[in-house]
Structure 1
Amino acid sequence: MKRHLRFVAPGLMLAGATLFVPAPAQSQGQSPSQPSAAPGLTSTTIVSGREFTWDMAFLPDGAMFFTEKCRGLSVRLPNGTINALLGMKDSRGYPDAAADLFCDGQAGMSGVAVDPDFASNRFIYVYSASSLTAPGTNRVLRLTVNADLTRVANRTDIVADIPYKSAPSNHPFGDSGAHNGGRLRFGPADGFLYVTTGDTHNGVVPQSPTLLGGKVLRIDRDGRPAAGNNAPQGFDPRIFTYGHRNPQGICFRPGNNQPFTAENGPWHSDEVTLLAPGGNGGWDPRANVNGRGDCPDGYCGYSPNQMGAMPNAERAAFMPMTDTRAFPNAMRPAWNNDGMSQGMSSCTFLNGAQWRGWNGRMVVSLMGIGIHGTPVGNRLDVLDIPADGLSATRSTVSLPIPAGRFRSVVQGPDGNLYIAVDQGEIYQFRPD
């Protein structure tokens, strides 16, 4: 199904659907970008009827691997045919299934990436929760795909010790599987695999030198540390950056290949951050540190410092996402969602003259959850990030597709933008 769209003044209707770029709130002291620079868009649904589509990765010919959080890995061929490849526990309709791979809360099969040397080695990678180590871990699996993209084989777990949250029934906040991270992307310049991981609602995890949650890992195709990670002394050498909360997006700026995370924040902020080797993201939710007292389960990422009637600004001052008081050298965010938290999940940079004023800008997806669970709608934000990685400005795009949670945004090899949503659809947006 295709929808032809053009940008108009805020709030005007086009064929029953609203597509708008409002005059955005100024962010970090910069002037907002102008909607007149935006391209027109044509929307096409290319995958439907699935469940919790989570991520996508392309081959040069347009074949698209995609994951469903609670079902498994499939591939959509350029002609539109979909081949199921690897199912999870209890999944049906897959030629192969892995009994240890499971879905629980935010955990399941999430990120997928294609090896830069796929033409010669046939490798792809997925991030999934596994029961092989009790009570569960997240793992990065390397798989070999056959020539006609109908089967996978030779599973190798190149990372097997990423924390997974197993919560008791009386846990004060968040179910099991929460804050699970899960994005996989290869660096376009260095050829290493970047892996984002969540803090699992465990206060000690983000700043821990050995626990791999709340981190960005950078590894080779065998899971070994990448050269130049620059992790502090005593840290696991696979760690590229640490002190994160729940980064669900990582993407690279065209031209200089700078890596940025898109991070799902606490109730007062989401953040986009330019990463530096060995850098600290500044998130430290431990109890009884940095001037804080005790917190439920030793995790101060919510209560008592963020719940209740405290205004956003006071919450942010008490427990900032990037705590520069405790960590003066922490990596500064390029953007903090104007002091709000709305479930940032993924990012990609648009590259190509067809994107007009958006060429070179970052697109971040919002899953539509605001403070105290308030729905804020499905949307994309387009960020203009200066060369220094600070003080970004924003344009907001509300898209005429059913309301839902935007889970992944990827620019395909054809130059178009692809969006996966929890409801099970994948959309293509082509600039006109």
Structure 2
Amino acid sequence: MDLIADIDRKLDALATQSLTRRLRVADSPCAPRQVVDGRAMLAFCSNDYLSLAAHPAVIAALQEGAARYGAGSGASHLVSGHSRAHALLETRFGEWLAPHIDQARALYLCTGYMANLAVLTALGADADAMIFSEALNHASLIDGARLAKAGVAVYPHGDVAALERQLAASTAATRIVVTDSVFSMDGDLAPLPALLALCERLGAWLVVDDAHGFGVLGEHGRGALEHFGLRSPNLVYIGTLGKAAGVGGAFVAAHASVIELLVQRARPYIYTTAAPPALAHALQASLDIIGGDEGVQRRAHLAALVEHLQDALRLQRWQLLPSRTAIQPVIIGSNEDALRVAAGLHEQSLWVPAIRPPTVAPGTARLRVTLSAAHTHDDVALLARALNELERATA
């Protein structure tokens, strides 16, 4: 009982700080209009930016994949779980990233979290390596750096000059710079061209986690590398497939030698059952949409919604961060105030999450508004009006 009492004290401490998280149950497919805990809601909280999670073509491909390959893979990739569906998907990702990475090859993993762990623990497997991690990196990158045998240095958000000083002073045999492309809580972009130029000049790897850029950025939706027009053998690119691609898993694209190193050394890849091949099959349909005319139209509509929201909000005390991506954070301040505003929106059947520490810094609790290509301009106008009114009402 003392063990349980200790856990209860920890839970009470979270509640006292307004840091308790709550699970909500969705009773319908991922979409702007969902039934959540039995109630109809207009959701602004999904990372399904292109609204492909419930796209008929993707659903049909998933059904076809299950009929062809079954429900599960049965083993890890290196035992017997690597299906033709996985192999075809990896080939396609290698082709997609070939304009940006020399001798590009790709590897498909179960989740973005596992992909980040795999890359950093494999590249940073030796004690004479050093990882230089962006201050606002995702938790999976932070954990990957912690699990690696390499040393870790953190550089300030977006500060290329500070990173240059750290890299220049380092005597590590292998130096690895790692950054998000689109920062998930602020919505801004990393200065990837400057980071890559620095890494090339000083002989470092640049690992880019494009979780929130793949499918959305670039003319053909191929992500941050296409958006910035980058190409280099120094790049290691991670694309998450449960967000804009609408399905699940992630891929790593890099020089073929880097990918072979992951196959041989990356424990999160070697020691887990492969993702169901039906998911890999469904992702082919997602890529057809992302890279085709429909993807172009969806990205254009999403950009118009972002502009609409920014024009419609008339905030005086709360702060809308200057993001041009589908992530539109509204800084509220205290944990308690952020929860109250989220509750006020919920009363109007608007689902927007309140994000609090440790996900963001203390005193910067926020609403993380995310837009989808399936939202309408009327949806955005409704949200903006509700936020404007709530700010005035809580003055």
TM-score under structure 2 length normalisation: 0.28
Larger radius of gyration: 2
TM-score under structure 1 length normalisation: 0.26
Determine which structure has the larger strand proportion and give its number: 1
